[in-house]
Structure 1
Amino acid sequence: MGIDRSRIRPTRAPFHGIVPGKQAIPIGQIDLPVTFGNPSNYRIETLTFEVVGFPSIYHAILGRPCYAKFIVVPNYTYLKLKMTGPHGVITVSTSFQRAYECKVESCELTSATLTSNELAAIEKDIAEGAPDAKRVARSFEPMENVKEVLVDPDNSVR
């Protein structure tokens, strides 16, 4: 974007939800002006963004802080954002095709970023949770230090 890195403020607060199952540690934060609308009807507000050092299909993710600052009404069904402007309503929209393409690209990028070490760790966790191969699948083996409890004390059923 051609922004001087000296404008990035350090931060150590991780965030979640960008790469499934992992937290992301940002490089820092930066305040940038964001504009919605067209030359005859627009709004400009300054938003704080977390800057990350990994590839993503998104240039920016706008969430609740953006919606609150612009007083946006999102409609997820129609893929539209609506907000007030100085000369009427500003509508930001996209196509279902573009939304689908972004979702596919995001899934592909997430799959590609999983390293072999992470896959090995996942496989190790799965292997540790797997049942012991020496045990017969249908045999019942009580645990040690089992306490017997009468279910129906009148009939002495255990």
Structure 2
Amino acid sequence: MTPTICNIAVGRTLVDGGAGLNLLSPEVFRRMQIGERKLTPSALLCGVTDGKTVPLGQIELPITFGGRDNFRPENITFDVAHFDLLYNAILGRPALAKFMATVHYANNTLKLLGPAGVISIKADVKGSVHCVERLYEVVATASSDDVEHPEPSTHPSTKQRLSPDSCALTKTICLGDDTEKTVTIGAELGDK
């Protein structure tokens, strides 16, 4: 998506309902010309990338969703950190909660309430595809450099099939009083 953060349209913004924080890249922060002296100290970030990430700091910035006729601004706290991802910003649960927004992943749409009704923002599909392609290139390059190539086996590999195992511990129980209606369940489960 492309929200307006501190009066700058920030493309390649990921809305991630599973993230516990809001991130902003140092490059975008520098374009805002705010200055690092405005950053407050921030704790180490774990789980964003491999290992720990040391952020430059935190800052509260205005972010706006919507258009000229129906928009909604909120002040959101961002951690400014280099996070080795293809995004300029990541909006997590704190931002979604502040906007009381819902994310419809099937429709790639973010919805939130504005002064003139519901604001629906469609995902930037072209930008999403670009990020996925770049991520694929990075992963493919890294995996080809790091993976040891095993020697070919003389035995053909057999594919494992997902099917009921004849030696699995199961039992058959009747459904209600009708003895013809049965179901097979794990042997360790109770009859009810």
Instruction: Classify the TM-score, shorter chain.
Output: 0.5 to 0.7
Where structure 2 has 5 or more consecutive residues not aligned to the other structure, the ranges are 1-30, 149-192
* RMSD, aligned α-carbons: 2.7
**Percent same amino acid at aligned positions?**
34
Following superposition, the deviation at residue 111 of structure 1 comes to 7.0
| Match of residue 9, structure 1, among 37, 40, 48 | 40
1:32 pairs with 2:77: no
| Structure with greater Cα Rg | 1
Distance 1:111 1:65, change over 3 A: farther
Q: For residue 92 of structure 2, what is the amino acid of its counterpart?
A: G
Summarize the Cα distance change of 1:46–1:13 in structure 2 as closer, same or farther, 3 Å threshold. same
Q: Whose strand proportion is higher, 1 or 2?
A: 2
Alpha-carbon distance in 1 for matches of 2:62, 2:141: 32
Aligned to 2:118: 89
Distance in 2 (alpha carbons) for counterparts of 1:113 and 1:25: 23
Please give the per-residue CA displacement for 1:105-144, whole angstroms capped at 9, x wherever unaligned: 2344567799x9xx6xx98xxxxxxxxxxxxxxxxxxxxx
Aligned-pair CA distance for 1:104: 2.4
Determine the structure 1 residue equivalent to 2:102: 73
From the superposition, tell whether residues 112 and 27 of structure 1 become closer, same or farther in structure 2 (CA, over 3 Å): farther
Once the two structures are superposed, the pairs formed by residues 34-73 of structure 1 within 5 Å of their partners are 34-53=63-82, 56-73=85-102
TM-score (norm 1): 0.62
Higher relative contact order (CA 8 A, sep 6+): 2
Structure 1 gaps of 5+ residues are 124-158
Q: CA deviation at 1:76?
A: 1.0
Q: Structure 2 matches for 1:103-122, cutoff 5 A?
A: 103-109=132-138
Task: Give the Cα separation in 2 of the matches to 1:109 and 1:32.
Answer: 31
